[in-house]
Chains A and B, each alone.
Chain A
Amino acid sequence: MKVIKGKQSIEFEKPPYLLSWASVVAQKEGEGPLGDFFDQVIDDPFFGEKTWEMAEGRFMKQAAMLAIQKAGLTKNEIRYAFAGDLLEQNTATSYGLKDLELPMFGLFGACSTAGESLSLASITVAGGFAEHVLAAASSHIGSAEKQFRFPLEYGNQRPLSATWTVTGSGGFIVSKKKSPIKIRGITTGKIVDYGMKDPMNMGACMAPAAAQVIYQHFEDYSMAPKDYDAIYTGDLGEVGKDILIRLLNENGYDISKVHGDCGLEIYENETQDTHSGGSGCACSAVVLASMLTRKLINGEWKRILFVPTGALMSKTSFNEGESVTGIAHAVLLEKEET
Protein backbone atom coordinates (compact mmCIF):
# COMPACT_ATOMS: atom_id res chain seq x y z
CA MET A 1 0.00 0.00 0.00
CA LYS A 2 1.33 3.34 -0.99
CA VAL A 3 1.60 5.81 1.87
CA ILE A 4 2.21 8.93 -0.16
CA LYS A 5 -0.98 9.63 -2.03
CA GLY A 6 -1.41 11.93 -5.00
CA LYS A 7 0.09 15.37 -4.82
CA GLN A 8 -0.53 16.57 -1.29
CA SER A 9 -1.85 13.64 0.71
CA ILE A 10 -0.82 10.80 2.94
CA GLU A 11 -2.81 7.66 3.58
CA PHE A 12 -1.32 5.96 6.62
CA GLU A 13 -0.42 2.32 6.37
CA LYS A 14 -0.96 1.89 10.08
CA PRO A 15 -3.37 4.67 10.90
CA PRO A 16 -2.93 6.43 14.22
CA TYR A 17 -5.95 6.85 16.47
CA LEU A 18 -7.59 9.75 18.18
CA LEU A 19 -7.34 8.31 21.66
CA SER A 20 -8.93 11.20 23.51
CA TRP A 21 -10.01 14.80 23.10
CA ALA A 22 -10.95 17.65 25.39
CA SER A 23 -12.62 21.00 24.92
CA VAL A 24 -12.48 23.89 27.35
CA VAL A 25 -14.38 27.07 26.48
CA ALA A 26 -15.58 30.34 28.00
CA GLN A 27 -19.05 31.45 28.95
CA LYS A 28 -20.30 32.69 25.59
CA GLU A 29 -19.36 29.43 23.87
CA GLY A 30 -20.96 27.53 26.76
CA GLU A 31 -24.20 29.38 26.13
CA GLY A 32 -24.12 28.43 22.45
CA PRO A 33 -25.79 25.45 20.77
CA LEU A 34 -22.90 23.11 21.60
CA GLY A 35 -22.79 24.16 25.25
CA ASP A 36 -23.65 20.74 26.64
CA PHE A 37 -21.03 18.94 24.57
CA PHE A 38 -17.97 20.76 25.92
CA ASP A 39 -15.94 19.18 28.67
CA GLN A 40 -15.58 22.36 30.65
CA VAL A 41 -17.09 25.82 30.51
CA ILE A 42 -15.07 28.40 32.42
CA ASP A 43 -17.10 31.42 33.53
CA ASP A 44 -14.14 33.63 34.39
CA PRO A 45 -12.73 34.92 31.08
CA PHE A 46 -9.36 35.46 32.79
CA PHE A 47 -9.37 31.86 34.09
CA GLY A 48 -7.76 33.10 37.30
CA GLU A 49 -4.89 34.78 35.45
CA LYS A 50 -4.11 38.49 35.23
CA THR A 51 -3.92 39.02 31.47
CA TRP A 52 -5.73 37.81 28.35
CA GLU A 53 -2.56 36.17 27.04
CA MET A 54 -1.95 34.13 30.16
CA ALA A 55 -5.65 33.30 30.34
CA GLU A 56 -5.47 31.83 26.84
CA GLY A 57 -2.46 29.78 27.90
CA ARG A 58 -4.40 28.55 30.89
CA PHE A 59 -7.23 27.40 28.63
CA MET A 60 -4.74 25.44 26.57
CA LYS A 61 -3.11 23.90 29.61
CA GLN A 62 -6.50 22.83 30.88
CA ALA A 63 -7.48 21.26 27.55
CA ALA A 64 -4.13 19.46 27.34
CA MET A 65 -4.35 18.10 30.87
CA LEU A 66 -7.94 16.98 30.36
CA ALA A 67 -7.07 15.19 27.13
CA ILE A 68 -4.18 13.40 28.81
CA GLN A 69 -6.39 12.45 31.71
CA LYS A 70 -9.23 11.25 29.49
CA ALA A 71 -6.77 9.05 27.62
CA GLY A 72 -5.90 7.41 30.91
CA LEU A 73 -2.29 8.55 30.58
CA THR A 74 0.11 10.63 32.60
CA LYS A 75 2.05 13.49 31.10
CA ASN A 76 5.25 11.45 31.23
CA GLU A 77 3.79 9.11 28.65
CA ILE A 78 3.34 11.91 26.12
CA ARG A 79 6.29 11.85 23.79
CA TYR A 80 5.72 15.11 21.90
CA ALA A 81 3.39 18.07 21.86
CA PHE A 82 2.37 19.96 18.72
CA ALA A 83 0.53 23.14 19.62
CA GLY A 84 -0.09 26.68 18.54
CA ASP A 85 -2.24 29.77 18.91
CA LEU A 86 -2.90 33.08 17.21
CA LEU A 87 -0.65 35.36 19.18
CA GLU A 88 2.72 36.77 18.30
CA GLN A 89 5.53 34.34 19.08
CA ASN A 90 2.94 31.76 20.20
CA THR A 91 2.67 33.43 23.60
CA ALA A 92 -0.28 31.42 24.86
CA THR A 93 1.20 28.08 23.86
CA SER A 94 4.63 28.76 25.30
CA TYR A 95 3.37 29.97 28.64
CA GLY A 96 0.40 27.67 28.85
CA LEU A 97 2.23 24.43 28.21
CA LYS A 98 5.55 25.17 29.89
CA ASP A 99 4.51 23.56 33.18
CA LEU A 100 3.62 20.29 31.44
CA GLU A 101 7.30 19.88 30.52
CA LEU A 102 6.67 18.08 27.23
CA PRO A 103 9.03 17.89 24.26
CA MET A 104 7.44 20.62 22.24
CA PHE A 105 6.93 21.75 18.67
CA GLY A 106 5.32 25.18 18.56
CA LEU A 107 3.20 25.75 15.46
CA PHE A 108 1.76 28.70 13.66
CA GLY A 109 -1.00 28.02 11.19
CA ALA A 110 -3.37 30.78 12.27
CA CYS A 111 -6.84 29.29 12.68
CA SER A 112 -5.80 26.14 10.82
CA THR A 113 -3.53 25.14 13.71
CA ALA A 114 -5.84 22.35 14.86
CA GLY A 115 -5.44 20.67 11.47
CA GLU A 116 -1.71 21.32 11.31
CA SER A 117 -1.06 19.92 14.78
CA LEU A 118 -3.22 16.85 14.16
CA SER A 119 -1.46 16.24 10.84
CA LEU A 120 2.02 16.42 12.34
CA ALA A 121 1.02 14.40 15.38
CA SER A 122 -0.40 11.69 13.10
CA ILE A 123 2.75 11.58 10.99
CA THR A 124 4.87 11.32 14.12
CA VAL A 125 2.83 8.45 15.50
CA ALA A 126 2.38 6.66 12.18
CA GLY A 127 6.09 6.95 11.52
CA GLY A 128 6.76 5.13 14.73
CA PHE A 129 8.49 8.05 16.40
CA ALA A 130 6.11 8.18 19.32
CA GLU A 131 3.43 6.24 21.11
CA HIS A 132 1.28 9.13 22.27
CA VAL A 133 1.39 12.70 21.00
CA LEU A 134 -0.51 15.76 22.17
CA ALA A 135 -2.02 18.14 19.62
CA ALA A 136 -3.57 21.38 20.84
CA ALA A 137 -4.76 24.79 19.68
CA SER A 138 -6.20 27.79 21.47
CA SER A 139 -7.58 31.29 20.95
CA HIS A 140 -9.05 33.99 23.14
CA ILE A 141 -11.18 36.91 22.05
CA GLY A 142 -9.46 39.22 24.53
CA SER A 143 -5.94 38.59 23.31
CA ALA A 144 -6.96 38.32 19.66
CA GLU A 145 -8.93 41.57 19.53
CA LYS A 146 -6.19 43.36 21.42
CA GLN A 147 -3.51 42.13 19.04
CA PHE A 148 -5.29 42.28 15.71
CA ARG A 149 -8.07 44.82 16.04
CA PHE A 150 -8.94 47.25 18.81
CA PRO A 151 -8.93 47.30 22.59
CA LEU A 152 -12.06 45.56 23.82
CA GLU A 153 -13.57 48.74 25.24
CA TYR A 154 -13.27 50.55 21.92
CA GLY A 155 -16.50 51.07 20.07
CA ASN A 156 -16.79 50.23 16.41
CA GLN A 157 -19.33 48.71 14.11
CA ARG A 158 -18.44 45.22 12.98
CA PRO A 159 -19.41 44.41 9.40
CA LEU A 160 -21.78 41.50 8.81
CA SER A 161 -18.92 39.49 7.32
CA ALA A 162 -16.89 39.74 10.55
CA THR A 163 -16.51 36.71 12.79
CA TRP A 164 -16.22 36.28 16.53
CA THR A 165 -13.05 34.78 18.00
CA VAL A 166 -13.78 31.68 20.05
CA THR A 167 -12.35 31.68 23.56
CA GLY A 168 -11.10 28.28 24.56
CA SER A 169 -8.86 25.44 23.59
CA GLY A 170 -9.06 21.94 22.21
CA GLY A 171 -6.58 19.19 23.04
CA PHE A 172 -6.16 15.78 21.40
CA ILE A 173 -4.09 12.71 22.07
CA VAL A 174 -3.03 11.00 18.87
CA SER A 175 -1.89 7.50 19.64
CA LYS A 176 -0.87 4.09 18.39
CA LYS A 177 -3.36 2.60 20.79
CA LYS A 178 -6.68 1.64 19.25
CA SER A 179 -9.71 3.80 19.78
CA PRO A 180 -13.05 4.26 18.01
CA ILE A 181 -11.72 7.05 15.78
CA LYS A 182 -8.85 6.52 13.39
CA ILE A 183 -6.97 9.09 11.38
CA ARG A 184 -6.90 7.54 7.94
CA GLY A 185 -4.93 10.25 6.26
CA ILE A 186 -4.20 13.91 5.76
CA THR A 187 -4.03 16.39 2.95
CA THR A 188 -1.75 19.33 3.56
CA GLY A 189 -2.82 22.66 2.13
CA LYS A 190 -0.86 25.22 0.19
CA ILE A 191 -0.77 28.93 0.83
CA VAL A 192 -3.40 30.41 -1.43
CA ASP A 193 -3.57 34.11 -2.28
CA TYR A 194 -6.54 35.48 -4.19
CA GLY A 195 -5.59 39.06 -3.42
CA MET A 196 -8.19 39.68 -0.73
CA LYS A 197 -7.38 42.64 1.49
CA ASP A 198 -10.33 42.89 3.84
CA PRO A 199 -9.42 41.53 7.30
CA MET A 200 -13.07 41.93 8.33
CA ASN A 201 -14.02 39.32 5.73
CA MET A 202 -11.84 36.41 6.75
CA GLY A 203 -14.22 33.85 5.29
CA ALA A 204 -13.58 35.18 1.81
CA CYS A 205 -9.82 35.26 2.45
CA MET A 206 -9.72 31.60 3.48
CA ALA A 207 -12.36 29.97 1.27
CA PRO A 208 -10.00 29.57 -1.73
CA ALA A 209 -7.46 27.73 0.45
CA ALA A 210 -10.17 25.41 1.75
CA ALA A 211 -11.44 24.84 -1.80
CA GLN A 212 -7.93 24.03 -3.01
CA VAL A 213 -7.18 21.50 -0.28
CA ILE A 214 -10.59 19.81 -0.47
CA TYR A 215 -10.33 19.60 -4.25
CA GLN A 216 -6.86 18.09 -4.04
CA HIS A 217 -8.04 15.68 -1.36
CA PHE A 218 -10.78 14.35 -3.65
CA GLU A 219 -8.30 14.01 -6.49
CA ASP A 220 -5.59 12.34 -4.39
CA TYR A 221 -8.00 9.88 -2.80
CA SER A 222 -10.12 9.43 -5.94
CA MET A 223 -13.18 10.07 -3.84
CA ALA A 224 -16.17 12.36 -4.24
CA PRO A 225 -18.37 14.33 -1.83
CA LYS A 226 -20.86 11.47 -1.64
CA ASP A 227 -18.21 9.28 0.00
CA TYR A 228 -18.22 11.47 3.09
CA ASP A 229 -20.81 11.82 5.80
CA ALA A 230 -19.58 15.30 6.51
CA ILE A 231 -16.95 17.78 5.42
CA TYR A 232 -16.30 20.37 8.10
CA THR A 233 -14.30 23.52 7.45
CA GLY A 234 -12.91 25.55 10.37
CA ASP A 235 -14.16 29.08 10.45
CA LEU A 236 -15.35 30.25 7.05
CA GLY A 237 -18.62 31.60 8.40
CA GLU A 238 -21.71 32.30 6.33
CA VAL A 239 -19.91 34.25 3.66
CA GLY A 240 -16.97 31.87 3.26
CA LYS A 241 -19.22 28.82 3.19
CA ASP A 242 -21.15 30.10 0.20
CA ILE A 243 -17.96 31.01 -1.61
CA LEU A 244 -16.37 27.62 -0.92
CA ILE A 245 -19.37 25.72 -2.25
CA ARG A 246 -19.38 27.88 -5.35
CA LEU A 247 -15.66 27.50 -5.99
CA LEU A 248 -15.84 23.71 -5.70
CA ASN A 249 -18.99 23.60 -7.80
CA GLU A 250 -17.12 25.31 -10.60
CA ASN A 251 -14.58 22.49 -10.35
CA GLY A 252 -17.12 19.72 -10.58
CA TYR A 253 -17.60 18.85 -6.92
CA ASP A 254 -20.88 19.59 -5.19
CA ILE A 255 -20.28 19.50 -1.43
CA SER A 256 -23.37 21.47 -0.46
CA LYS A 257 -25.10 18.39 1.01
CA VAL A 258 -22.26 17.34 3.29
CA HIS A 259 -20.57 20.61 4.07
CA GLY A 260 -20.66 22.18 7.50
CA ASP A 261 -18.60 24.88 9.13
CA CYS A 262 -17.39 24.77 12.72
CA GLY A 263 -17.79 28.55 12.94
CA LEU A 264 -21.47 28.20 12.15
CA GLU A 265 -22.05 25.49 14.74
CA ILE A 266 -20.56 27.10 17.80
CA TYR A 267 -22.78 30.17 18.15
CA GLU A 268 -26.38 31.07 17.55
CA ASN A 269 -25.44 33.85 15.16
CA GLU A 270 -28.74 35.71 15.44
CA THR A 271 -29.25 35.73 19.18
CA GLN A 272 -25.58 35.78 20.20
CA ASP A 273 -24.82 38.59 17.77
CA THR A 274 -21.73 37.02 16.28
CA HIS A 275 -22.46 38.07 12.68
CA SER A 276 -20.77 35.62 10.30
CA GLY A 277 -19.90 32.96 12.91
CA GLY A 278 -17.05 31.88 15.14
CA SER A 279 -13.35 31.92 14.29
CA GLY A 280 -9.93 31.41 15.83
CA CYS A 281 -7.72 28.38 16.42
CA ALA A 282 -10.04 27.18 19.14
CA CYS A 283 -13.11 27.27 16.91
CA SER A 284 -12.37 24.19 14.84
CA ALA A 285 -10.52 22.50 17.72
CA VAL A 286 -13.36 22.64 20.22
CA VAL A 287 -16.03 21.77 17.65
CA LEU A 288 -14.03 18.68 16.66
CA ALA A 289 -13.49 17.82 20.30
CA SER A 290 -17.19 18.07 21.04
CA MET A 291 -19.74 17.69 18.29
CA LEU A 292 -17.77 16.03 15.48
CA THR A 293 -16.12 13.33 17.59
CA ARG A 294 -19.44 12.67 19.27
CA LYS A 295 -21.21 12.00 16.00
CA LEU A 296 -18.42 9.68 14.89
CA ILE A 297 -18.54 7.79 18.16
CA ASN A 298 -22.29 7.29 18.19
CA GLY A 299 -22.17 6.00 14.65
CA GLU A 300 -24.13 8.79 13.03
CA TRP A 301 -21.13 9.40 10.80
CA LYS A 302 -18.57 6.95 9.50
CA ARG A 303 -16.19 9.19 7.63
CA ILE A 304 -15.57 12.89 7.90
CA LEU A 305 -13.11 15.35 6.47
CA PHE A 306 -12.01 17.95 8.99
CA VAL A 307 -10.57 21.05 7.32
CA PRO A 308 -9.50 23.89 9.65
CA THR A 309 -8.84 27.09 7.75
CA GLY A 310 -6.42 29.86 8.59
CA ALA A 311 -5.68 33.37 7.40
CA LEU A 312 -1.96 34.00 7.33
CA MET A 313 -1.55 37.66 8.07
CA SER A 314 -0.11 39.94 10.67
CA LYS A 315 -0.83 43.49 11.64
CA THR A 316 2.42 44.47 9.96
CA SER A 317 1.62 42.77 6.65
CA PHE A 318 -1.82 44.37 6.70
CA ASN A 319 -0.43 47.86 7.38
CA GLU A 320 2.09 47.35 4.62
CA GLY A 321 -0.75 46.75 2.22
CA GLU A 322 -0.24 43.06 1.60
CA SER A 323 -3.19 40.80 0.90
CA VAL A 324 -4.50 38.24 3.37
CA THR A 325 -3.40 34.77 2.31
CA GLY A 326 -5.12 31.60 3.38
CA ILE A 327 -4.22 28.04 4.25
CA ALA A 328 -6.19 24.92 5.17
CA HIS A 329 -5.28 21.43 6.28
CA ALA A 330 -7.52 18.41 5.82
CA VAL A 331 -7.63 15.47 8.22
CA LEU A 332 -9.57 12.37 7.20
CA LEU A 333 -11.24 10.77 10.21
CA GLU A 334 -13.07 7.46 10.17
CA LYS A 335 -14.95 5.43 12.68
CA GLU A 336 -13.05 2.27 13.47
CA GLU A 337 -15.25 -0.75 12.94
CA THR A 338 -15.04 -3.11 15.87
Chain B
Amino acid sequence: MEYVKAFLVGGIICVLVQILMDNTKLQPGRIMVILVMSGVILGALGIYAKIEKFGGCGATVPLSGFGFNLWKGMKEAIDQHGFLGLFEGGFTAASVGTSAALIFSYIASLIFQPKMKK
Protein backbone atom coordinates (compact mmCIF):
# COMPACT_ATOMS: atom_id res chain seq x y z
CA MET B 1 0.00 0.00 0.00
CA GLU B 2 2.84 2.38 0.84
CA TYR B 3 4.17 1.85 -2.66
CA VAL B 4 0.87 2.76 -4.28
CA LYS B 5 0.61 5.87 -2.12
CA ALA B 6 4.17 6.94 -2.91
CA PHE B 7 3.56 6.47 -6.63
CA LEU B 8 0.31 8.38 -6.44
CA VAL B 9 1.55 11.35 -4.43
CA GLY B 10 4.81 11.69 -6.39
CA GLY B 11 2.91 11.38 -9.65
CA ILE B 12 0.38 14.02 -8.68
CA ILE B 13 3.11 16.52 -7.73
CA CYS B 14 4.73 15.95 -11.11
CA VAL B 15 1.43 16.40 -12.93
CA LEU B 16 0.83 19.73 -11.16
CA VAL B 17 4.28 20.91 -12.19
CA GLN B 18 3.74 19.67 -15.75
CA ILE B 19 0.54 21.70 -16.00
CA LEU B 20 2.44 24.73 -14.73
CA MET B 21 5.19 24.15 -17.31
CA ASP B 22 2.83 23.64 -20.22
CA ASN B 23 0.82 26.73 -19.48
CA THR B 24 3.65 29.12 -18.75
CA LYS B 25 7.02 29.52 -20.42
CA LEU B 26 8.92 28.98 -17.19
CA GLN B 27 12.38 27.51 -17.61
CA PRO B 28 13.37 24.42 -15.60
CA GLY B 29 15.58 26.50 -13.26
CA ARG B 30 12.64 28.61 -12.17
CA ILE B 31 10.43 25.58 -11.80
CA MET B 32 12.92 24.01 -9.40
CA VAL B 33 13.14 27.20 -7.35
CA ILE B 34 9.35 27.41 -7.16
CA LEU B 35 9.19 23.78 -6.02
CA VAL B 36 11.72 24.18 -3.24
CA MET B 37 10.12 27.37 -1.98
CA SER B 38 6.66 25.85 -1.99
CA GLY B 39 8.10 22.95 0.01
CA VAL B 40 9.44 25.39 2.58
CA ILE B 41 6.19 27.32 2.80
CA LEU B 42 3.92 24.28 2.89
CA GLY B 43 6.28 22.82 5.47
CA ALA B 44 5.97 25.90 7.68
CA LEU B 45 2.20 25.81 7.38
CA GLY B 46 2.22 22.22 8.54
CA ILE B 47 0.61 20.96 5.33
CA TYR B 48 3.58 19.17 3.88
CA ALA B 49 4.00 17.01 6.99
CA LYS B 50 0.54 15.62 6.31
CA ILE B 51 1.36 14.93 2.70
CA GLU B 52 4.52 13.17 3.77
CA LYS B 53 2.71 11.11 6.34
CA PHE B 54 0.37 9.85 3.66
CA GLY B 55 2.70 9.61 0.69
CA GLY B 56 6.07 8.69 2.21
CA CYS B 57 8.72 8.91 -0.44
CA GLY B 58 6.12 10.25 -2.86
CA ALA B 59 6.47 13.48 -0.87
CA THR B 60 10.13 13.37 0.09
CA VAL B 61 11.69 12.43 -3.26
CA PRO B 62 10.35 15.46 -5.19
CA LEU B 63 12.29 18.71 -4.74
CA SER B 64 9.45 20.11 -2.68
CA GLY B 65 10.46 17.46 -0.15
CA PHE B 66 13.91 18.99 -0.17
CA GLY B 67 12.30 22.32 0.74
CA PHE B 68 10.22 20.64 3.43
CA ASN B 69 13.40 19.13 4.82
CA LEU B 70 15.03 22.55 4.85
CA TRP B 71 12.20 23.92 6.89
CA LYS B 72 12.30 21.01 9.33
CA GLY B 73 16.03 21.58 9.84
CA MET B 74 15.46 25.29 10.32
CA LYS B 75 12.71 24.77 12.85
CA GLU B 76 14.74 22.28 14.85
CA ALA B 77 17.76 24.58 14.87
CA ILE B 78 15.68 27.56 16.01
CA ASP B 79 14.07 25.47 18.74
CA GLN B 80 17.50 24.51 20.01
CA HIS B 81 19.63 27.58 19.41
CA GLY B 82 17.21 30.41 18.89
CA PHE B 83 18.58 33.22 16.76
CA LEU B 84 21.73 31.32 15.80
CA GLY B 85 19.58 28.56 14.42
CA LEU B 86 18.45 30.87 11.63
CA PHE B 87 21.91 30.58 10.15
CA GLU B 88 22.50 27.00 11.07
CA GLY B 89 19.35 25.15 10.15
CA GLY B 90 19.22 25.55 6.40
CA PHE B 91 22.51 24.06 5.42
CA THR B 92 22.34 21.33 8.04
CA ALA B 93 19.09 20.08 6.59
CA ALA B 94 20.16 20.49 3.00
CA SER B 95 23.56 18.93 3.59
CA VAL B 96 22.91 15.34 2.53
CA GLY B 97 21.24 16.05 -0.79
CA THR B 98 23.55 18.90 -1.73
CA SER B 99 26.75 17.15 -0.69
CA ALA B 100 25.79 13.96 -2.47
CA ALA B 101 25.00 15.88 -5.66
CA LEU B 102 28.21 17.90 -5.51
CA ILE B 103 30.50 15.02 -4.61
CA PHE B 104 29.14 12.54 -7.12
CA SER B 105 28.93 15.17 -9.85
CA TYR B 106 32.51 16.20 -9.31
CA ILE B 107 33.67 12.61 -9.57
CA ALA B 108 31.52 12.20 -12.67
CA SER B 109 33.17 15.23 -14.26
CA LEU B 110 36.50 13.43 -13.89
CA ILE B 111 35.22 10.24 -15.46
CA PHE B 112 32.72 11.21 -18.16
CA GLN B 113 33.28 13.24 -21.31
CA PRO B 114 30.72 15.64 -22.79
CA LYS B 115 28.61 13.83 -25.35
CA MET B 116 26.80 14.89 -28.47
CA LYS B 117 23.09 15.47 -28.24
CA LYS B 118 21.29 12.81 -30.23
Determine whether A and B are in direct contact in the complex, meaning some CB atoms lie less than 8 angstroms apart.
Answer: yes
Digit string of A40-70 for contact with B (CB within 8 Å is 1, else 0)? 0000010000001000000000000000000
Q: Whole-angstrom distance between the alpha carbons of A153 and B114 in the complex?
A: 7
- CB–CB A152/B117 < 8 A: yes
- CB–CB A153/B116 < 8 A: no
Q: Whole-angstrom distance between the alpha carbons of A148 and B28 in the complex?
A: 14
Distance between A286 CB and nearest chain B CB, rounded to angstroms: 17
- CB–CB B116/A142 < 8 A: yes
- Listed in ascending order, the chain A residues whose CB lies under 8 Å from chain B are 26, 28, 45, 52, 141-142, 145, 150-154, 156-157, 197-198, 200
Digit string of B94-118 for contact with A (CB within 8 Å is 1, else 0)? 0000000000000000000011111
Residues of A within 8 A of B28 (CB): 150, 154, 156
- CB–CB A152/B115 < 8 A: yes
- CB–CB B114/A141 < 8 A: no
- What residue in chain A is nearest B28 (Cβ atoms)? A156
- CB–CB B25/A200 < 8 A: yes
How many residues on chain B are close to A (CB under 8 Å)? 8
- CB–CB A52/B114 < 8 A: yes
Q: Whole-angstrom distance between the alpha carbons of A52 and B25 in the complex?
A: 28
Task: Give residues 50-82 of B contacting A (CB, 8 Å).
Answer: none
Residues of A within 8 A of B115 (CB): 152-153
List 10 other contacts, CB 8 Å, given A28-B118, A142-B114, A152-B114.
A26-B116, A45-B116, A150-B28, A151-B114, A153-B115, A154-B28, A157-B21, A197-B25, A198-B25, A200-B25
Distance between B45 CB and nearest chain A CB, rounded to angstroms: 30
- CB–CB A152/B25 < 8 A: no
Residues of A within 8 A of B21 (CB): 157
- What residue in chain A is nearest B116 (Cβ atoms)? A45
Distance between A219 CB and nearest chain B CB, rounded to angstroms: 35
Q: Whole-angstrom distance between the alpha carbons of A314 and B114 in the complex?
A: 23
Residues of B within 8 A of A151 (CB): 114
Q: Whole-angstrom distance between the alpha carbons of A145 and B118 in the complex?
A: 13
